[in-house]
Amino acid sequence: MQSVLESVSSHQRPLRPSACPSVRPPSDFLLTLVLFRQRRPVRRRFESPGIYSDDDANSDASSACSERSYSSRNGGAGPHFLRQTEDVAEVLNHCASSNWSERKEGLLGLQNLLKGQRMLSRVELKRLCEIFTRMFADPHSKVFSMFLETLVDFIVLHRDDLQDWLFVLLTQLLKKMGADLLGSVQAKVQKALDVTRESFPLELQFNILMRFIVDQTQTPNLKVKVAILRYIEALARQMDPADFRDGTVSGFTLPHPTRLGLEVT
């Protein structure tokens, strides 16, 4: 009996390694584990780029919809910042186009950019001011109306960078108050004037208007003169009375009312 059991046992021992074919030798198991760990980050990167890769997330967001790039603040780095710069350049090119529909499209893109708090560089600001100076005389009513809306957003975001352009901004808006405009468009001009008055130093605005009044090359019509007087009145109500001592403001002599074509009684 014992000899029979030994015989059976001797036949079973060689079969044990193959009884569980799914079990790998230790060395194979370790090699598989190493390969799995090496591949795992790559697989996770493509499964959820928004979590594991900021660069990939920015790339996907920018390529999916160009308007979404307008909502990012200036301050990014690398390829994402370069894409933002290219977007701004494209928007400005559209705003400067001779085609009215492209100008309108450019203004729409610029609105999205400004509302997204994307600060413009000094070079971009200079070019946009030049474009906006021309847009004050844009012949297309739809473009001009959208320009006034965009102008308000531009002033609010870049008020600290526009003092050198304030003379053009203020005088052109006041001239538009004397033009024959639709009531809705004139309301937008008035809103732009109100935002301008609240955004820049009062004394600076006052001095600009005094320069405009005494400039012999300027020939404003009656409506413009009335608009100027109303604007000056609004400024004066907010200024310090001491600023008007001796009939001067910062050394600037106040012009006589007859310079505006007004009768003194």
Q: What is the 3-state secondary structure (H, E, C) of the chain?
A: CHHHHHHHHHHHHHHHHHHCCCCCCHHHHHHHHHHHHHHHHHHHHHHCHHHHCHHHHHHHHHHHCHHHHHCCCCCCCCHHHHHHHHHHHHHHHHHCCCCHHHHHHHHHHHHHHHHCCCCCCHHHHHHHHHHHHHHCCCCCHHHHHHHHHHHHHHHHHHHHHCHHHHHHHHHHHHHHCCCCCCHHHHHHHHHHHHHHHHHCCHHHHHHHHHHHHHCCCCCCCHHHHHHHHHHHHHHHHHCCHHHHHHHEECCEECCCHHHHCCCCC
Let me know whether 196 and 128 are in one domain: no
Residue 44 lies in a domain: no
Let me know whether 124 and 76 are in one domain: yes
Residue 177 lies in a domain: yes
Return the pLDDT at 121: 93
Residue 113 lies in a domain: yes
Let me know whether 121 and 178 are in one domain: no
Return the pLDDT at 241: 80
- Domain closes at, from 103, 137, 171: 137
Residue 39 lies in a domain: no
pTM: 0.63
Let me know whether 207 and 170 are in one domain: yes
Let me know whether 122 and 185 are in one domain: no
Residue 27 lies in a domain: no
Domain with 101, as residue range(s), is: 51-137
Return the pLDDT at 240: 83
Residue 99 lies in a domain: yes
pLDDT tens-place string over residues 166-190: 999 999 999 999 998 999 999 999 9
Return the pLDDT at 5: 47
Return the pLDDT at 144: 97
Across the chain, which has 265 residues, the per-10-residue mean pLDDT values are: 51 48 54 52 35 38 37 43 66 95 95 92 96 96 96 96 96 94 94 97 94 90 94 92 62 52 47
Domain count of the fold of the chain: 2
Return the pLDDT at 87: 86
Residue 82 lies in a domain: yes
Residue 143 lies in a domain: no
Return the pLDDT at 260: 52
Return the pLDDT at 245: 60
Let me know whether 63 and 128 are in one domain: yes
